[in-house]
Amino acid sequence: MSRIEACLSTIKKNNGKALIPFLTAGDPSPSITANLMHELVLAGADIIELGVPFSDPMADGPVIQRASERALAQKTNTDDVFNIVKDFRDKDKITPVILMGYLNPIEIMGYKKFVEKASKVGVDGLIVVDLPPEESADLQEALKLHDIDQIFLLSPTTIGDRLNKICKAASGFLYYVSLKGVTGSNQLNIKKVEEKIKEIRAQSTLPLAVGFGIKDAEVAQAVGRISDAVVIGSALVEKIAKYSGNTEEMIEEISSFIISLRKALDNI
């Protein structure tokens, strides 16, 4: 069983909800990302989603775009991202780490080499935003050799046969994009999300995470009630940006934010 599956099934057994914060590797600088990841775990994160910076993040809203720009301004490259995961793994052998990014940085390294490096440093899952299942056969093959889960996204526009196909191809968990839009949007409709989740549950028994547009403890709790895991991206990255000049203050802020989300999910 992969680290992701083990993590999620334990949480489910205890009737809990998983909390998955997202941060961009190298934002505000590559030297503190691993520390931030530890702090997130201390505050109650179950899985860490680590963004691989890309110059043209088409599916992201302004908050995560700027995080990518800050990371690239610090010259964060793919090998730095692997080093960050390695540093994190030195002290934390349990918390699953998922890389989230775009295809081009993976493609230029070569699928095989990328996956070998990722596996070696302890990456557990991979989300490639612009790689739909139709184009992912080669990457999937490489990932299977190293037991890394490829996490597929489902969206409000994923219907019919397509929904069925993706549910069958997925491993680890399913990630439902809660709205039509980019990360950090402000228009999540909980009723619509609930309807879609019912539809997905009818097709798959994999754990289901929901992301995009979850900005505070209240929304997290509402989403947690109808799913297995909640992803927090832009709302967290915004705090990292706000306190980027003062690491101590930043850690305090993001920790108390994650603690508030943890409490909200534990009180479901």
Partner 1 sequence: MSKIEKNIDTSTIDTFSCMPDENGHFGLYGGRFVAETLMGPLEELEEAYKKYINDPEFNAEFVSDLKHYVGRPSPLYHAKRWSEQLGGAQIYLKREDLNHTGAHKINNTVGQALLAKRMGKQRVIAETGAGQHGVATATVAARYGMECVVYMGAEDIKRQAINVFRIKLLGAKVVPVDAGSKTLKDALNEAMRDWVTYVDKTFYIIGTVAGPHPYPAMVRDFNAVVGREVREQCLTQIGKLPNTLVACVGGGSNAIGLFYPFLDDKEISIYGVEAAGGGLSTGKHAAPLNAGKPGVLHGNRTYLMEDDYGQIIETHSISAGLDYPGVGPEHSWLKDTGRANYVSVTDIEAIQAFHDLCQIEGIIPALESSHAIAYTSKIAPKMDKNEIIVVNLSGRGDKDIQTVATHEGITI
Binding site for partner 1 (CB under 8 A): 54-59, 61-62, 65, 69, 72, 77-79, 102-112, 129-132, 134-135, 138, 142, 152-159, 162, 166, 177, 180-182, 185
Which tokens belong to 75?
């010259």
Closest separation between CB of residue 163 and partner 1, Å? 10
| Sequence-distant (≥ 6) Cβ neighbours of residue 91 within 8 angstroms | 38
Closest separation between CB of residue 50 and partner 1, Å? 16
Residue entry with tokens 């918390």: 95
Closest separation between CB of residue 255 and partner 1, Å? 30
Task: Given the residues 60, 80, 124, 238, select the one marked as catalytic.
Answer: 60
Strands 229-232 and 97-101: unpaired
Closest separation between CB of residue 234 and partner 1, Å? 13
What secondary structure letter does DSSP report for 68? H
What secondary structure letter does DSSP report for 148? P
> Which CB atom, from 159 or from 202, has the smaller least distance to partner 1?
159
Assess whether 124 carries a catalytic annotation: no
Task: Given the residues 5, 49, 149, 228, select the one marked as catalytic.
Answer: 49
Report whether 57 contacts 65 (CB < 8 A).
yes
- From the CB of residue 212, how many other CB atoms can be counted at a distance below 10 Å? 25
> Which CB atom, from 185 or from 260, has the smaller least distance to partner 1?
185
> Which CB atom, from 185 or from 255, has the smaller least distance to partner 1?
185
Helical pair 217-226 and 190-201, crossing angle rounded to 10 deg: 30
Assess whether 199 carries a catalytic annotation: no
Catalytic positions, written as ranges: 49, 60
